[in-house]
Every structure is written in C-alpha cells, then in structure tokens.
Structure 1
C-alpha cells in the first residue's frame, strides 16, 4: 500500500509521530482535571467541540472541498471516526472502570505489535524477521508498564474483571482497525491533505457525539456547579484543539510519509509522553521498572527506524 520511504520522508514522518504522541499524551491529564464528569461526558465534550472547531476551519474551503467528498468517503470517515475516537474512548474507560488499570494497560500495550504485524503484509513492507527485535522490545516495554501498574494497584479490587478484559480487548481491536484503516484510506485518498482529512474526520466525529450527548447527560445523575461546567468546557476545548485538531493532523501527515510497519511503532510515543506528564503531575521520578519500560520503548522505535532506513537508503 505504501511506496518505499525515502530518508527525507522517514525524518519528517518520525517528527510528526513524536509530535502527535506528545499532544495525545495530554489527554490522560484531562480526567484528573474534571473528575466529577463521566467518561462518556468527557468523550462527548471533546468530540463535539472537535466537530465545531473542524466546521469553523473547513468552512472557507467547503465549496471546493465538498466536490471531492463522495458518499463512499463519508462512509469511510464515519466508521474511522467511530472506531478510532468514539468507540475506543468509551471502551477504554469501561475497561479501566470494570477491570482496573493493570489488565487494561497490558492489553492496550499490544497495539504497536498488532499494527506492525498487519502492516508487514503490505506491499513493499519489510519482512517480519527484520522487525522481530523491535516487536520483542515493544512487548517487553508493555510488560514493564503492566507490572508497574499491577504493583501500584495491588490493593484495588476490580468490579467486573471479565467485563473489563472484554472491553480492553474490544478497545484494542477498535483502535487497531482505525490505525490500519486510516493509514490505507490516506494512501487511497491522496487528493486530500492530512489537515483536510483530519477536519473531515472531525465533522463525522462531532456529528456522532452530538447524538450521544443527550444520552451522556441523561445517564449522569451528579449535580454540577457553574464552575465545574466552566472547567469542563475549558478542558474539553483544550483537548479538542491540541489532541484532536493538531495531534490528529500530525498523525495523518505521518501516515502519508511512513510505511504501516513503522506507523505501529509511533503509537508508543503516546504512552511515553503520557507517562512523562503523569510523573510531572504526581511530582515524582520514574521507578526502576518504569525507567526500563522507557528504555525498551525508545530502543524499540530506534531499531524499527534502523530497519526501515536501509531500504530507504537503497531507494
């Protein structure tokens, strides 16, 4: 599906992947800032505003852009928006709530591996044996993070472990489906820029969450004060602009520059940055196991980049 990457594309693509991970990592701070709201309300707040911002930004070019968006394109955007945004966020939140952080972290840690395995079947992809060292390090890093989560939450009791595990596996499948589908859609729809594709995704995601918003409000019986709603609006707007508008645009641009086998490794940066932000928020240094996980993540990406650099240099 991808043409062989050049050295120039590798550098730009990796920079975009790191930037997307840095912005997406901020999402993990949002629940700490607006604790009194449910996960579904947080999702609706973020994605409705994502849709509104996207509508404002796409409006000046809509007359030209609308002629290139077919019904098939809208269908692609709709299922990608549902799989990668709405469904993933709700499933992930449900997994943590029912099964705890430990099992969820371990399951979601397989994301880069799954995407890399799927990408290895693409045309011009590197043989899987060349990616094996990177995949093994990725798994080691995920195991370290899971072990740390298990140690930190040893005394917590999961409400429904089996339900939580099912939700985590479903979230893993949902985002893998999005990552692979979005990468391949961008290859097919090269007449759209990464920014335009992101704005169109925002319109589809926003429309879905406008429908879900009344349900989210109905299910929440907690009374919220004016200041809490103000904080909710500010945090939702910040996450929508930084993570959804800017972060997704960088991710889409990266998809246009890198092969899918390397795209899978870039997902690790979201975990890396979210952990860094968590340490800053908690005002502490990483533990030995967390430091080992950091090292595995960085080395995994470096080995994957090195494996792709050889054919890029030849090209």
Structure 2
C-alpha cells in the first residue's frame, strides 16, 4: 500500500507538468501541443524499446492493439481536450474539473469491478461527492468574478473550456480503468515495458497528427510558423520535458501503483495531479489563490480524503450495508 501510494504521488507530481505548457504557449493550437508532446514521448520510447527488447518481445498483437487504444484515448484525445480547456478557461477551473477524476473513476469502478476489487458503499461516498461539488463551485465563482472584472473577457470561451475539461475527464476515466484491467490480467509483465509500449504506439499517431497540423496551417494560411512555432526553443524544451517526465516516467509510476492498489483506491490518488497542477498554475500567475479558491481546494481535498477512508467491501456485504 505504501509503495503503491508513493508511486501514485510521483506520477501526480509529474503529470501536473502537463498543465503548464498550454499556459506558457498560448499561441499554439491544442492539437499541436498534444502531437508535439507525444512525438517527443514516442521518440524517447524508441531507444527504451531496444534496451528492453526481451520483455517487449513478449507483447502479442492483441497487446499492441490495446496499447494503441489506450494511447489514442488516454494520451492524444485527453491532452487535446485538456490543453484547449486551459487555453480557453485558464488553469484553475479545468484543473478542478479534472480533480473530480478520483471519485468519477471510483464510481465507474464501483459499477464494473465490484466482484474483483469489492464495492464502495454508495451512501458513504455521498459526503465526498458533496464536498467535491462544493469545491468546484467555489473555484468556478472566483474565476467567473475574475472574468466579469475584465472587459475583454469572453464568457462563451470560458464555458467552452469547461465543456472541454469535462470531455477530458471522460477520456481519462476510461483510460485508467482499461489500463488497470490489462495490468491486473498480466501481473507478470513489467509496468515499465507497458509504459514504453504505449509510447511507441503513440508515435505513429503523433507523426500523422503533427503532419496534419502542418498541412492544415499551410492550407489555411495560418500565421503560426511551422514546424516549431514562434518560440521554437521553449516549445521543443517543454515537449521533451513533458514527454520524458510526464508521459513516460509518470506513466511508469502510475502502472507500478496500478499493479499494487485496488482500482477504486488508485483512481482516487489522482488528486496528487490536481494539487500539483493548481500549485503550478498559481506560480505561473505569480499570485496567491483567492480565499474562496483555497476553500475550494480544501473542499476538494477533503472530499477525496473522505472517499479514501471508505474501504471496498465484498459486493454482498456492501449491498447489505446499503439496505
């Protein structure tokens, strides 16, 4: 339990970095950020395939297809939605919406994995859901007040960002559940090798996607300079850093945690990513969070902490408890 929790903490600290790039590169389209990140991830994974070739040879065609599915939804689609959400709504609100993942994943796991991992009693989850909803509401109120004070603010753009963040939640609810299924079914396989396999599976998508962005920009006469945009050094540096730390190393740490902890528990530990991302967002703003924002963060953490106290029970025991 302790080792698995520490791995989840390390993954959260590194995954928080992915919230930085859209704020530092506001002139870059979300698709370019996503494909650039995973192009770097895939290139980093290539030499790792050679170093780990004995274990990589154990993966079957079905395993590679599964890695491609996980990469498409959990990597590419997720980050396109997230980057676009941050660029439209700022950092705090999308981060808080993503912060609902622990409980969303727990609920989904509760519905599908009760026989394997036990079931969380629904009544015991209700207080955590209420706390998380209140926390998101507090942060949303602060961000809307900030927008109303800005005469150039676009509330429609802000609302679109919130919807994109919800889409990102959907992508990353599916990913850890499906990823945990594979890891639990293949307990003899290396989580590091599985992370590398997902990086390699992402590479062809990233190459095609990045080329597509380039062609689209040329066809529509976009002012964005290709291939690396107006600040090539910052773009390449961020993509390499995020590809190495957030994509490969973060995925490896998450896989280690997923093999050691029940899905309902490991899903809730994504709160570490939320707290890291919020800290990075306000560091970039160069200001302390407003009191209502701090209250919202505290409510979110309290809600997840409350949920962590609820231990899975065998399905029959949980049903008896609910009645």
TM, length-normalised to structure 1 = 0.84
User: What is the distance in 1 between the residues matched to 2:27 and 2:137?
Assistant: 31
**Structure 1 equivalent of residue 214 of structure 2:** 217
| Residues 1:99 and 1:145: Cα distance change in structure 2 (over 3 Å) | closer
User: What is the distance in 1 between the residues matched to 2:271 and 2:139?
Assistant: 12
Of 234, 241, 255, the match for 2:244: 241
Question: CA-to-partner distance for each residue in 1:53-92, whole Å, 9 max, x for gaps?
Answer: 1111121221x22432111111111111111110111123
Confirm whether residue 78 of structure 1 aligns to residue 68 of structure 2.
yes
User: What is the distance in 2 between the residues matched to 1:27 and 1:253?
Assistant: 20
Considering only aligned residues, what root-mean-square deviation do their CA atoms show, in Å?
Answer: 2.8
| Alignment map for 1:47-196 (pairs within 5 Å) | 47-62=38-53, 64-95=54-85, 108-121=98-111, 122=113, 123=115, 124-154=118-148, 155=150, 156-158=153-155, 167-196=164-193
SS of residue matched to 2:52? helix
Structure 1: any 5+ residue segments left out of the alignment?
1-8
Of 11, 15, 32, the match for 2:6: 15
User: What is the distance in 1 between the residues matched to 2:92 and 2:233?
Assistant: 32
Of 285, 288, 292, the match for 2:291: 288
**Structure 2 equivalent of residue 44 of structure 1:** 35
TM, length-normalised to structure 2 = 0.82
**Structure 2 equivalent of residue 232 of structure 1:** 235
User: What is the distance in 1 between the residues matched to 2:140 and 2:295?
Assistant: 12
SS of residue matched to 1:26? helix
**Structure 1 equivalent of residue 276 of structure 2:** 273
User: What is the distance in 2 between the residues matched to 1:95 and 1:136?
Assistant: 24
Shift of 1:153: 2.3
> What is the number of residues matched between the two proteins?
301
SS of residue matched to 1:68? coil
User: What is the distance in 2 between the residues matched to 1:294 and 1:226?
Assistant: 35
| Residues 1:166 and 1:291: Cα distance change in structure 2 (over 3 Å) | closer
Structure 2: any 5+ residue segments left out of the alignment?
315-323
Question: CA-to-partner distance for each residue in 1:264-309, whole Å, 9 max, x for gaps?
Answer: 3222221211111122222222211121122223323332333339
Shift of 1:199: 0.7
| Residues 1:106 and 1:280: Cα distance change in structure 2 (over 3 Å) | closer
User: What is the distance in 1 between the residues matched to 2:140 and 2:183?
Assistant: 33
Shift of 1:162: 7.8
